[in-house]
Copies of this chain bind each other. A is one copy, B any other.
């Protein structure tokens, strides 16, 4: 213990954030205590509410505290007939930042990884297949990461989707192999959408 239980506890709690080391945690704690107490209280409130109330969209599985996320609530987006399958909510943000995609999403919240116990059920593939069966879906764009696991997941979903009357494509040009979708710039992402290749 260096100062007092509450200060030490605050530094420890900040260190648990991704990418925050001991020096940064200390710096954050002191800056908040010295001159940004309102910022700290606001963050406490945001964290408390988000951790307690945010769940998943019942249609696309992205994060939201509502039944449907804003995109799945948009008739224009749903009526596009296009579903883009991504691994994470961060991928949705990356594609939305490009502003070139007008369909809706399906968020796997991961990729197939049998050794970690992640199979079709964990990725919500039954829900995705319900969309293909019941909704008016004309195209399924597979935008999982261009990694071994992401490719395997895309092929697994393509096999499932072939049982339905839907064009299946995989984003292609532009995304660097081995990279993560979340970190690709929006122009490259736009290219990869335009150059998507139908899976036969």
Knowing A7-B64, A69-B3, say if A31 contacts B18 (CB, 8 Å): yes
Q: Report the separation of the CA atoms of residues A30 and B92 in the bound assembly, to the nearest whole angstrom.
A: 12
Q: Give the B-binding residues of A (Cβ under 8 A).
A: 1-7, 9-10, 12-14, 16-19, 24, 26-34, 36-37, 39-54, 62-66, 69-70, 88-90, 92-93, 96, 109
Knowing A18-B27, A33-B63, A90-B26, say if A10 contacts B42 (CB, 8 Å): no
* Beyond A3-B89, A7-B64, 20 extra complex contacts between A and B, CB < 8 Å: A2-B92, A3-B63, A3-B92, A6-B53, A7-B63, A13-B42, A16-B36, A17-B39, A19-B28, A26-B93, A33-B89, A37-B51, A40-B50, A41-B47, A41-B48, A41-B52, A44-B44, A44-B45, A44-B47, A44-B48
> A46's contact among B13, B49, B52, B64, by CB below 8 Å, is which?
B13
Q: How many copies does the complex hold?
A: 2
The answer on a CB contact under 8 Å between B90 and A27 is yes
What is the CB-to-nearest-CB distance from A74 to chain B, in angstroms, rounded to a whole number? 12
The answer on a CB contact under 8 Å between A40 and B33 is no
Can you name 23 A-B pairs with beta carbons within 8 Å? Answer: A3-B63, A3-B93, A4-B65, A6-B50, A6-B54, A7-B50, A7-B63, A10-B49, A10-B50, A14-B46, A16-B36, A16-B39, A18-B27, A19-B27, A26-B90, A32-B47, A33-B50, A33-B51, A34-B109, A40-B51, A41-B47, A41-B48, A41-B51
